[in-house]
């Protein structure tokens, strides 16, 4: 295979059209034709990474194995492709500027005036080419965040223009994703916003090669012809992306529309085979035709925004499909859970998942939810903060440590069962300083988790600052509540289990970042299975 080919995905008209899903779907099709593909995301905001952003602003922060805090679209890439991404797959304006400014301070620009063009654009271009230069990929897809016409996007669009010029038309192409709105009053689909956004792109010197149109209704041929004519693309390069039941339908829809075919033709690539989507279709078949149905209560403080727990939701769906079970997620706001409301909120669910999180808001509700799940023997999975709350709950209600708390919530608490590691106490900077990325964990052989993972050493991704405080181990853990997973080097507590409960697991790490369509995460699969067993036993009683 020769040099890699580059595909750039831009967005027009509005944000949130699903560029990430289109990019991931195209990558899936090309991967299914035996091309080696990767996807990277360039975000125009000034934050160095999304790690310090509120989930309400930007949805979940996705963590890669190498410990990068990244945009949630990387989660889609991994879930669709079953491939690992890394720091190199997500670049922000903040990071680009940080790098350029550091170079300037080191004197690398030899006294020149440092400018957006060429210094910022050169930095962007070199990062756009980085993964391609590894020799590991035939095709690199680059998603440009934001919408064309935004001030912030300009240096990226200019970099893409230059790169196409450098690489040659046959080695690079642009897919522009736009919206075709439907006007209910006149019953019409409208192409004008698309024409305008393609024109905006043109003003920056970029002619879109393929136009993917998000639409609620089928685009008739005459409308496609109109888009082709006014936007200067061939008819087959006008691709319809109609609203679908699930994001996992999109690769099949793109296949029907021939997106991969048009891409390969433009890039002058010959595929070894037609896309083999057998496994993907098997997943969809199970996902869409469940035999059973269960409810999982997701207890968190960001539940109003679905994107805040994106990876958890997708992991639950993967695990549901594996169990041929429909998983209905009941979002439960942690601030609303207390002893008065617990039965109403939680008695209906077949499994309780206490979500990760930061800060004090809603934590008493999380602790109450843990207690309810523990006492009522409802399958329980606590993730990160959820695991920490499970420890505090047991300490308070079973080990007689009434004042147990985390120093994150109460820095002066009498019984800091969850506390900062010594190495974290001197860190003042918030960005990128948590315990991040994949760390090993050794499992106790005599445990539920060992029977689930079927191996002794696992590696899971982390994103937290606080840890179980070892000095409380003897007071809290007993024959029921046990540590069943620890970091082999530091002995930090990674997993707790309750042996007198049918399925009660708390994990300090984030299993949700590892679940993919091809390989649903074993912990989620087992959790859903336990919830199904619980649900069936409830029905029989």
Q: 497, 510, 514, 521: which one is catalytic? A: 510
Query: Tokens 């069936």 map to which residue?
Result: 536
Q: Is residue 459 a contact partner of residue 506, using CB atoms and an 8 Å limit? A: no
> What's the min distance (Å) between Cβ of 486 and ligand GLN?
16
Taking CB under 6 A as the criterion, the residue among 50, 351, 357, 382 binding ligand GLN is 357
> What's the min distance (Å) between Cβ of 351 and ligand GLN?
19
Q: E strands, 97-209, where?
A: 139-144, 172-179, 182-183, 188-189
322/464 with CB nearer ligand GLN: 464
196 is catalytic: no
> What's the min distance (Å) between Cβ of 405 and ligand GLN?
13
Q: 123, 314, 342, 512: which one is catalytic? A: 512
Q: Which of 127, 164, 132, 163 is nearest to 2 (CA)?
A: 132
CA 266 to chain centre: 30
Distances (CA, A) of 389 to 94, 319, 412, 468, 498: 34, 24, 18, 11, 14
Can you tell me the distance from the alpha carbon of 79 to that of 31, in angstroms, rounded to the nearest whole number? 13
Subset of residues 397 to 416 that bind ligand GLN, contact rule: CB under 6 A: 408
In 40-120, alpha helices (H): 55-58, 73-81, 93-105
510 is catalytic: yes
414's tokens = 């009498």
Q: E strands, 430-525, where?
A: 435-443, 457-464, 466-468, 481-486, 493-498, 504-507
> What's the min distance (Å) between Cβ of 464 and ligand GLN?
3
Applying CB under 6 A, the span of 50-58, 111-119, 132-140, 354-362 interacting with ligand GLN comes to 354-362
How many residues are given for the chain? 541
Rule CB under 6 A: say whether 385 interacts with ligand GLN: yes
Rule CB under 6 A: say whether 437 interacts with ligand GLN: no
Query: Tokens 């109403």 map to which residue?
Result: 344
Distances (CA, A) of 101 to 48, 108, 110: 13, 10, 13
253/465 with CB nearer ligand GLN: 465
Taking CB under 6 A as the criterion, the residue among 63, 250, 381, 384 binding ligand GLN is 384
- Number of Cα atoms under 13 Å in the Cβ half of residue 239: 27
93/308 with CB nearer ligand GLN: 308
Can you tell me the distance from the alpha carbon of 231 to that of 223, in angstroms, rounded to the nearest whole number? 12
5/366 with CB nearer ligand GLN: 366
> What's the min distance (Å) between Cβ of 57 and ligand GLN?
17
206/367 with CB nearer ligand GLN: 367
Query: Tokens 């289990």 map to which residue?
Result: 497
> What's the min distance (Å) between Cβ of 508 and ligand GLN?
8
Start-to-end CA span in the chain (Å): 62
Can you tell me the distance from the alpha carbon of 442 to that of 445, in angstroms, rounded to the nearest whole number? 9
Q: Is residue 496 a contact partner of residue 481, using CB atoms and an 8 Å limit? A: yes
8/302 with CB nearer ligand GLN: 302
For residue 132, give every residue at least 6 positions away whose Cβ sits within 8 Å of its Cβ, in sequence order, or none. 3, 4, 6, 140
356/379 with CB nearer ligand GLN: 356
CA dihedral of residues 109, 112, 116, 121 (deg, nearest 10): -40
Rule CB under 6 A: say whether 356 interacts with ligand GLN: yes
Subset of residues 445 to 504 that bind ligand GLN, contact rule: CB under 6 A: 463-466
> What's the min distance (Å) between Cβ of 352 and ligand GLN?
16
> What's the min distance (Å) between Cβ of 424 and ligand GLN?
9
199/465 with CB nearer ligand GLN: 465
Number of residues that bind ligand GLN (CB under 6 A): 10
131's tokens = 């993964």
Binding mask 295-314 toward ligand GLN (x if CB under 6 A, else -) reads --------------------
19/396 with CB nearer ligand GLN: 396
Can you tell me the distance from the alpha carbon of 440 to that of 462, in angstroms, rounded to the nearest whole number? 10
Applying CB under 6 A, the span of 100-108, 132-140, 276-284, 350-358 interacting with ligand GLN comes to 350-358
Q: How many CB atoms lie within 10 A of CB 410?
A: 14
Query: Tokens 């540590």 map to which residue?
Result: 483
> What's the min distance (Å) between Cβ of 148 and ligand GLN?
34
Taking CB under 6 A as the criterion, the residue among 277, 358, 480, 502 binding ligand GLN is 358
Query: Tokens 């019984």 map to which residue?
Result: 415
Torsional sign, CA 206, 207, 209, 210: positive
119 is catalytic: no
Q: 61, 231, 384, 441: which one is catalytic? A: 384
Which residues are designated catalytic? 384, 510, 512
Residues engaged in binding ligand GLN (CB under 6 A): 356-358, 384-385, 408, 463-466
């Amino acid at each position: 295979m020769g040099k890699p080919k580059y595909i750039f995905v831009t967005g027009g008209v509005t944000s949130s059209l699903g560029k990430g899903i289109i990019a991931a779907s195209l990558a899936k099709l090309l991967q299914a034709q035996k091309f080696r593909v990767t996807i990277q995301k360039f975000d125009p905001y000034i934050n160095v990474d999304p790690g310090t952003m509120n989930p309400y602003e930007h949805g979940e922060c996705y963590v890669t194995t190498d410990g990068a805090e990244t945009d949630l679209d990387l989660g889609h890439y991994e879930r669709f492709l079953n491939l690992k991404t890394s720091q190199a797959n997500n670049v922000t304006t903040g990071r680009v500027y940080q790098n350029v400014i550091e170079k300037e301070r080191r004197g690398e620009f030899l006294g020149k005036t440092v400018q957006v063009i060429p210094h910022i654009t050169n930095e962007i271009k070199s990062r756009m080419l980085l993964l391609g230069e590894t020799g590991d990929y035939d095709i690199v897809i680059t998603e440009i965040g934001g919408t064309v016409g935004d001030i912030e996007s300009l240096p990226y669009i200019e970099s893409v223009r230059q790169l196409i010029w450098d690489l040659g038309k046959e080695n690079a192409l642009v897919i522009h994703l736009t919206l075709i709105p439907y006007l209910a009053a006149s019953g019409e689909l409208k192409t004008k916003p698309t024409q305008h956004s393609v024109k905006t792109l043109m003003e920056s010197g970029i002619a879109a090669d393929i136009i993917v149109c998000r639409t609620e209704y089928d685009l008739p041929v005459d409308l496609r012809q109109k888009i082709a004519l006014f936007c200067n693309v061939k008819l087959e390069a006008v691709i319809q992306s109609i609203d679908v039941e699930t994001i996992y339908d999109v690769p099949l829809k793109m296949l029907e529309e021939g997106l991969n075919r048009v891409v390969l033709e433009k890039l002058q690539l010959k595929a070894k085979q037609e896309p083999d989507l057998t496994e993907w279709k098997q997943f969809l078949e199970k996902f869409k035709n469940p035999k059973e149905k269960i409810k999982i209560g997701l207890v968190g403080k960001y539940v109003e925004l679905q994107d805040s727990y994106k990876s958890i939701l997708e992991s639950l769906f993967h695990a549901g499909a594996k169990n041929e079970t429909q998983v209905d997620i009941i979002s439960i706001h942690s601030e609303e859970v207390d002893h008065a409301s617990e039965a109403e909120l939680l008695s209906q669910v077949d499994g309780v998942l206490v979500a990760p999180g930061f800060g004090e808001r809603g934590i008493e509700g999380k602790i109450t939810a843990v207690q309810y799940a523990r006492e009522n023997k409802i399958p329980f999975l606590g993730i990160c903060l959820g695991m920490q709350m499970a420890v505090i709950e047991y300490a308070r209600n079973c080990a007689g440590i009434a004042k147990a708390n985390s120093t994150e919530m109460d820095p002066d608490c009498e019984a800091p069962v969850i506390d900062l590691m010594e190495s974290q106490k001197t860190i003042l900077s918030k960005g990128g300083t948590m315990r991040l990325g994949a760390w090993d964990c050794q499992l106790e052989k005599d445990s539920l988790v060992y029977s689930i993972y079927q191996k002794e050493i696992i590696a899971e991704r982390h994103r937290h600052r606080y840890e179980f405080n070892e000095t409380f181990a003897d007071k809290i853990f007993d024959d029921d509540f046990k540590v069943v997973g620890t970091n082999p080097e530091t002995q930090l507590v990674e997993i707790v289990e309750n042996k007198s409960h049918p399925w009660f697991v708390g994990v300090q790490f984030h299993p949700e970042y590892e679940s993919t369509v091809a390989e649903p995460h074993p912990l989620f699969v087992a959790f859903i299975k336990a919830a199904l067993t619980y649900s069936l036993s409830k029905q029989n009683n």
